[in-house]
Structure 1
Amino acid sequence: MANQGNLPAKKTASFGVAWEGLYGYVQAVQVKDTIYLSGQLSHDSKGDLIAPADLTPEGKPADFSAMEAQMRQTYKNIVDLLAEFGAGLEHVVEETLFVIDVPAAFAAAGKVRKEFYGAEIPQVASNLIGVSGLAFPQQLIEITIRAVVE
């Protein structure tokens, strides 16, 4: 996109999955030294959800046993997007995890976050927020990221 007037120059990245066009957004935007990631899901490169939760007849998750697998894939997608900007998890300053089940997410996050950040106490501000629903009914977690690069 061309810079118009006083608007800051933006660099963007997307995966090319169907819902980007349907909803109308990009997965990541960099303005100056800050990278903003839209809510990331546990999908593969084709847009298929990894470890989708089984649903009840009412369309709600039947259990939360897929939380760790979904979280792991979501962080993989975050790593891939950050790499588009020459950045990595070491540049993350804040993350927000939106989850359907807080206890399941808290249990998984202790293991998965430490693994991905490579630290017993990742040096990142983190928010874990319980929500009633996400973009897809089989989805248990969505993560947004803010990263700062020099």
Structure 2
Amino acid sequence: MTRKIISTDAAPTAIGPYSQAVQIGDTVYLSGQIPLDPKTMTLIEGDMDAQIRRVLDNLTAVAAAVGGSLDQVAKFTVYLTDLSHFPLVNEIMAEYLKDPYPARAAIGVAELPKGAQVEMDAVLVLDA
């Protein structure tokens, strides 16, 4: 199968040697997104609610760049520096997604790039 690199200006550029997403067949692997403003490449100001929404908006932009949407995500992985924010993640994800929901894992981590408090990556299936 052919590998296609996905890139969009509507989401932050990679901050290392990786792509925003890679498509192989109908499967798209979306790299982790932190709450970076795609225009300034700095962490957004605001509370955890705003940070989670920025991450999901960034993932939405990358999914759209390949002609997809978050509705086609098969699996999310959520990384949090403080697992007490997990209920808020659930609340906000429920606004961005609809039933049936994708699979998901949530992992507590010591730290994330650029001092972010949340990061998410996803696997999207275009024909889903």
Runs of 4+ in 1 over 6 A off after TM superposition: none
**Structure 1 residue 135: Cα displacement:** 0.8
Give the partner amino acid of 1:75: L
**Structure 1 residue 122: Cα displacement:** 5.0
Q: Which has the larger radius of gyration?
A: 1
Say whether 1:49 aligns with 2:17: no
Distance, in Å, in 1 between the alignment partners of 2:57 and 2:16 is: 22
Give the alignment partner of residue 94 of structure 1, picking from 57, 75, 97. Answer: 75
Distance, in Å, in 1 between the alignment partners of 2:42 and 2:8 is: 12
- Hey, what does 1:113 align to over in structure 2? 93
Cα displacement string for residues 45-77 of structure 1 (whole angstroms, at most 9, x for unaligned residues):
22121136xxxxxxxxxxxxx222111000001
- The number of residue pairs the alignment matches comes to 124
**Structure 1 residue 23: Cα displacement:** 2.0
The 3-state SS of whatever aligns with 1:23 is: coil
Question: 8 Å contact 1:113–1:122 — kept in the other structure?
Answer: no
Unaligned runs of 5+ in 1: 1-7, 53-65
Say whether 1:146 aligns with 2:123: yes
Question: 8 Å contact 2:63–2:69 — kept in the other structure?
Answer: yes
Give the partner amino acid of 1:45: P
Change (3 A) 1:84 1:15: closer
Question: 8 Å contact 2:8–2:61 — kept in the other structure?
Answer: no
TM-score, length of structure 2 as denominator length: 0.88
Superposition map of 1:26-105 within 5 A: 26-46=19-39, 47-51=41-45, 66-104=47-85
Question: 8 Å contact 1:94–1:145 — kept in the other structure?
Answer: yes
Unaligned runs of 5+ in 2: none
TM-score, length of structure 1 as denominator length: 0.76
Question: 8 Å contact 1:15–1:45 — kept in the other structure?
Answer: no
Aligned-pair identity (%)? 31
